[in-house]
Amino acid sequence: MNDIRRIAVVGAGQMGSGIAEVFARAGLDTIVCEKDPAALRAARGRIDRSLHRAVDRGRISPTDREDTWAHLLFADDLEALADRQLVVEAVVEAEHAKTDVLTTLDKILADDDAILATNTSSIPITRLGITTGRASHVLGLHFFNPAPVMPLVELVSSLHTDQAVLTRVEAFARDILGKHVVHSRDRAGFVVNALLVPYLLSAIRMAEAGHATPEDIDAGMVHGCAHPMGPLQLADLIGLDTVEAIARSMYEEYKEPLYAPPPLLSRMVEAGLLGRKTGQGFHTHHAV
């Protein structure tokens, strides 16, 4: 039986809220940590809506929903996480923000065997791990949005990650969370984004060049290739700022033109047109 029972998620945004819900639905003692009170309130609302949808669609029972809430706590101070066995960092996709969280947690966690996991989409795990004093216990645990629904997690080890730690987290993700685990080397983009992001950027370049409208680009891939969602719709869902950050990280590593963010993407991010979370990206989105 896996002994990881005390969990925390740092960051209460869309991904952090979803990851915390996954843990709590698995019956794990879960703390969501976010210093911004408004973000914590938003996370509660986001999780509540997600759980109600899960009940409405028959994925969980009303009793399961109540049990999930019984396993969730919310905190605004990292000091509250001192007794955690596993902490998942899910803050903004910016290296300085992630290293700040990880180095602070490294000092706070009381258990030398406690594991620090990052939900980064593209930042090298080795680079993040060496900023702490426990690089052997740092790894990537990359969930996909929406985390309570998507079955995949990418497990990424750094050059320093201990094999026993990797095995322990793999068993946890598979047996306790019920996720399908794929392994990746510590390369920017890992498996999924290394394939996905060039596709998204190609669609953005097509729209930028005026080859077709965003609506027709998306319709082409949905109705012509049986994709559940078009590439520009998907970019809006991920967040255009996140897509740009992943692209920059991959371009920095590989120096391949296909990874470079198109100018249109950068301008939209500068303008605050980030997709679904701001209501406007390549498409207009209405609050749910």
Q: Which amino acid is it at 44?
A: R
**Do residues 39 and 191 touch, judged by C-beta distance below 8 A?**
no
Q: Pick the catalytic residue: 89, 93, 154, 170?
A: 154
Of 17, 142, 158, 244, the active-site residue reads: 142
Examine the residue annotation and report whether 2 is marked as an active-site residue of this protein: no
Cβ pair 261, 247 in contact under 8 A: yes
Amino acid (1-letter code) at residue 76: D
Question: Of 17, 50, 119, 121, which is the active-site residue?
Answer: 121
- Residue 180 annotated in active site: no
User: Tokens 């594991």 map to which residue?
Assistant: 115
Which member of 122, 158, 184, 193 is catalytic? 193
CA separation, residue 198 to residues 1, 169, 193, 194, 276 (Å)? 40, 29, 8, 7, 20
Annotated catalytic, 253? no
Catalytic site includes residue 286:
no
Active-site positions?
121, 142, 154, 193
